[in-house]
């Protein structure tokens, strides 16, 4: 019972520290996608990022009163126990607060393309609701996370703790994928919350208007 009370006390302290930053993060998440499901998935991803960053900081800090982070074997598990639940709760509250205030992705005047009839419902839902940078970030998470989990050819070469290396590799892939997607949409003069269907429509319209404008 005393251990449970200690964990609850730590959760309350961590939640109090993260309340204000989570409001900003929740506003950003609400501005990325119209879908609440993907919004909650982003909250989970951000909570995992907080866990991993906190674990890395505490490992390097080497505090004597936190022997769990100095044992060399259970850092990531202990970090999840301390940080994940309060971080996720704070982020979800920030996201719901932003949605209650009417924060949504900016509406664009891009022409919409009808989803191809041969595509399945899940793919059609993803391509019509998920912004391009977020889609690239998810691809980066999958590719780099699996790459390090199966071959240890990425950050696993430098970090001995296997779970930490895999999670950090996935987060690095997410960052690189997001920046690549952001670059692609911005290079084409589109807002960051553009979905793949909207980008395809804009590029097709631009290609159709190109020859007529030259003539």
To the question of pTM greater than 0.75 for the whole model, the response is no
- Render pLDDT for 40-75 as a digit per residue (tens, 0 to 9): 888 888 888 888 777 777 766 666 655 555 555 556
Q: What is the pLDDT of residue 122?
A: 66
Q: What is the pLDDT of residue 111?
A: 47
- Render pLDDT for 97-144 as a digit per residue (tens, 0 to 9): 999 988 877 655 544 444 444 456 666 666 777 788 888 888 888 888
Mean confidence (pLDDT) of the chain: 76
For the chain, what is the HEC assignment? CHHHHHHHHHHHHHHHHHHHHHHHHHHHHHCCCCCHHHHHHHHHHHHHHHHHHHHHHHHHHCCCCCHHHCCCCCHHHHHHHHHHHHHHHHHHHHHHHHHHCCCCCCCCCCCCCCCCCCCCHHHHHHHHHCCHHHHHHHHHHHHHHHHHHHHCCCHHHCCCCHHHHHHHHHHHHHHHHHHHHHHHHHHCCCCCCCCHHHHHHHHHHHHHHHHHHHC
**pLDDT band per the 50, 70, 90 thresholds, residue 87:** very high
């Amino acid at each position: 019972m005393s251990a449970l009370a200690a964990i609850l006390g730590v959760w309350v302290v961590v939640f109090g520290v993260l309340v204000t930053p989570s409001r900003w993060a929740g506003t950003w998440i609400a501005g990325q996608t119209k879908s609440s499901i993907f919004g909650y998935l982003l909250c989970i991803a951000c909570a995992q990022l907080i866990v991993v960053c906190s674990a890395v900081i505490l490992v390097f800090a080497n505090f004597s009163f936190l022997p769990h982070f100095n044992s060399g074997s259970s850092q990531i598990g202990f970090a999840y126990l301390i940080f994940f639940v309060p971080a996720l709760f704070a982020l979800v509250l920030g996201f719901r607060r932003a949605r209650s205030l009417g924060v949504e992705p900016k509406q664009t005047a891009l022409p919409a393309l009808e989803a191809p009839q041969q595509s399945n419902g899940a793919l059609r839902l993803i391509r019509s609701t998920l912004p391009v940078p977020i889609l690239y970030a998810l691809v980066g998470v999958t590719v780099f996370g699996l790459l390090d989990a199966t071959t240890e050819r990425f950050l696993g070469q430098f970090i001995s703790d296997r779970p930490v290396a895999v999670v950090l590799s996935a987060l690095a892939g997410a960052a690189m994928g997001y920046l690549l997607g952001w670059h692609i949409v911005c290079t084409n003069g589109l807002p960051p919350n553009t979905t793949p269907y909207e980008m395809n429509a804009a590029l097709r319209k631009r290609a159709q208007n190109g020859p007529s404008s030259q003539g």
